[in-house]
Amino acid sequence: MADSGKNSVLIVDDEKANIIALTSILGQDYTVYAAKNGQDAIQVAKKFLPDVVLLDILMPEIDGYETFCRLKNDVDTQSIPIIFVTGLANVEHEEKGLDLGASDYICKPFTPSIVRLRVRNQIKIVNQIRIINHLSTTDQLTGVPNRRSFNIQVNKEWGRTMRDKTPLSLLLLDIDRFKSFNDTYGHQQGDVVLQSIALSLTESLRRSSDFVARWGGEEFAVLLPNTDLNGALEIAERIRRNVEKSPITIANGQTAIVTVSIGATSVIPTQECCQDAFICQADKALYAAKESGRNRTFRIEY
């Protein structure tokens, strides 16, 4: 979705008049981007990730079919619905477009109301999918990503850091003596602690690429792209100190101090590296931090 809060549409057509007409039809309801050829369309789509693409077929150099295939073969743009808008009004071309996987097919000359309705239908689907994806990848108690979301993210970052030959670090964090806290204050107050820890973690991270997720129970995971082990340890200690020095307000105005133990590891992934072993190393480091007295960070190099 565009920064304005509106859904967004990319119009791709080599005729300026068509871009102007479609922008006039859709510009009031959506943020509109435009491209005059297939190559520019691919670049704009990758940069802005529009919610829907309106794509002409007959264009110079790269036609609409080729542009479609390139967009669908790119991991960044493959899920964007594409509507062909073309003067090729015969059944064979419409069938070809839909068979490729186009979400819809509009023939020129187009009717404004039909364009609005067909784009609106695709936008509704996009927004519904976005809500479902958010619910399925978000921990409902703390509001941070859940374990499923972490698995998606670590797979993505593993592949990227392998290509770039950059380090990837992982912190696994556990709330110390959380069972005793629940036994003393009750599970509802335990939920308050989990929410507070999630907020503290989020506030402790300073880069948009850093990723925090609820790992399960009282454990959280922090994925740190382009961060070596020393950098990961600095972040881990910042998290640990922030938690320790931030009393949590629970029932009846009481406050409680909780602490966390953190396991850290780092790797520059290669074909020989195993993602499961990478996570296992962080888990072993967390166990060592707990065994050596809690409220501390322990590291194990991959």
Per-residue pLDDT of the chain (302 residues; tens, 9 = 90+): 555 679 999 999 999 999 999 999 999 999 999 999 999 999 999 999 999 999 999 998 899 999 999 999 998 899 999 999 999 888 998 899 999 999 999 999 999 999 999 999 999 999 999 999 999 999 999 999 999 999 999 999 999 999 999 999 999 999 999 999 999 999 999 999 999 999 999 999 989 999 999 999 999 999 999 999 999 999 999 999 999 999 999 888 889 999 999 999 999 999 999 999 999 999 999 999 999 999 999 999 87
Q: So what's the pLDDT on residue 4? A: 60
Domains of the chain, first to last: 8-137 (3.40.50.2300), 147-299 (3.30.70.270)
pTM of the model: 0.77
Q: So what's the pLDDT on residue 5? A: 79
Cα–Cα distance, 183 to 185 (Å, whole number): 6
Cα–Cα distance, 26 to 44 (Å, whole number): 18
**Exposed / middle / buried, residue 226 (Cβ in 10 Å: 0-12, 13-18, 19+):** middle
Per the structure block, which two tokens stand in for 292?
């050596």
CA distances from residue 206 to 86, 209, 298 in whole angstroms, order as listed: 46, 9, 22
The answer to whether 234 is a known catalytic residue is no
Instruction: Return the DSSP state at 27.
Output: T
From the centroid of its chain, how far is CA 107? 35
The catalytic position among 218, 237, 244, 291 is: 218
Strand-pairing partners, residue 86, are 107
Q: So what's the pLDDT on residue 228? A: 96
Q: So what's the pLDDT on residue 161? A: 94
Asked if residues 180 and 272 have their Cβ atoms less than 8 Å apart, the reply is: no
Query: Helix or strand or coil: residue 211?
Result: strand
Q: So what's the pLDDT on residue 302? A: 76
CA distances from residue 85 to 56, 92, 101, 174, 221 in whole angstroms, order as listed: 5, 15, 14, 54, 45
